């Protein structure tokens, strides 16, 4: 790859990453019943509704999982992968593109949870305002992951449940998302 291709790939990743983050955070906010009156949730809904609302008529939510927003994330990931591959001048396999889009979507969700749980645990160590919109949003998204382990991983007054959750999320990235990305990469190149 030449320098221009690398720069184009970086720009594509940044632009698509920002768009995908909006929809991923919306999926997580709805799945975890984040407070709709929170300004962060209102921002997410305001900017994602024009795309998600028409799709919700075709794909209703299942058990608080917004399938329409999930489909948008998947399509955005597939388009991003397609553009990066075309920018590099490589051949494209449709099955590989779909597998790679799924793998990238899974990896993005796992990475988002890692960031949210890390920020949540950092905020719990510092004296932050629990009623701040960011704190309420982060707590709403991170709490369901940490709650099952809370109190069971306490040693010497320190709760290590966020550490265990982070370790599990990192292992999921390594053992699930990365092999799926490798498979998608092989299928994408037609190997």
* pLDDT tens for each residue of 17-48: 999 999 999 999 999 988 888 899 999 999 99
Cα dist from 162 to 38, 133, 134, 157, 176, whole Å: 24, 21, 18, 14, 20
| Displacement of CA 4 from its chain's centroid (Å) | 28
The answer to whether residues 164 and 149 touch, using CB atoms and an 8 Å cutoff, is yes
The answer to whether residues 69 and 19 touch, using CB atoms and an 8 Å cutoff, is no
Give the pair of three-digit tokens for residue 184. 């998608």
pLDDT band at residue 91 under the 50/70/90 scheme: confident
Q: Is residue 191 helix, strand or coil?
A: coil
pTM to 2 decimal places: 0.90
Domain ranges, ordered by start, for the chain? 3-188
pLDDT at residue 73, as a whole number: 97
pLDDT at residue 191, as a whole number: 61
- Half-sphere exposure for 104 (CA within 13 Å, toward CB): 24
Question: By 3-state DSSP, what share of the chain in percent is helix, strand and coil, each rounded to 5?
Answer: 75, 5, 20
As a whole number, the mean pLDDT across the chain is 90
The answer to whether residues 50 and 62 touch, using CB atoms and an 8 Å cutoff, is no
| C-alpha closest to that of 137 among 17, 23, 36, 18 | 36
Mean pLDDT, range 73-85, rounded to an integer: 94
d(CA 52, CA 146): 29
pLDDT at residue 106, as a whole number: 96
Angle at 75 between CA 69 and CA 80, to 5 degrees: 125
d(CA 165, CA 94): 35
């Amino acid at each position: 790859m030449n320098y221009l291709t690398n720069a184009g790939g970086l720009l594509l990743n940044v632009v698509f990453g920002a768009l995908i983050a909006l929809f991923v955070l919306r999926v997580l906010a709805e799945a975890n019943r984040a407070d709709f009156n929170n300004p962060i949730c209102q921002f997410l809904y305001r900017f994602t509704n024009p795309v998600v609302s028409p799709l919700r008529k075709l794909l209703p939510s299942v058990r608080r999982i917004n399938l329409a927003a999930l489909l948008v994330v998947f399509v955005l990931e597939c388009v991003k992968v397609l553009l990066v591959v075309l920018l590099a001048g490589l051949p494209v396999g449709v099955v590989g593109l779909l597998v790679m889009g799924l793998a990238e979507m899974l990896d993005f969700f796992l990475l988002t949870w890692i960031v949210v749980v890390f920020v949540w645990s950092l905020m719990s160590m510092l004296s932050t305002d629990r009623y701040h919109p960011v704190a309420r949003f982060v707590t709403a998204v991170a709490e369901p992951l940490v709650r099952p382990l809370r109190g069971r991983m306490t040693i010497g007054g320190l709760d290590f449940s966020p550490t265990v959750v982070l370790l599990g999320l990192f292992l999921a990235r390594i053992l699930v998302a990365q092999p799926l990305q490798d498979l998608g990469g092989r299928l994408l190149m037609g190997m």
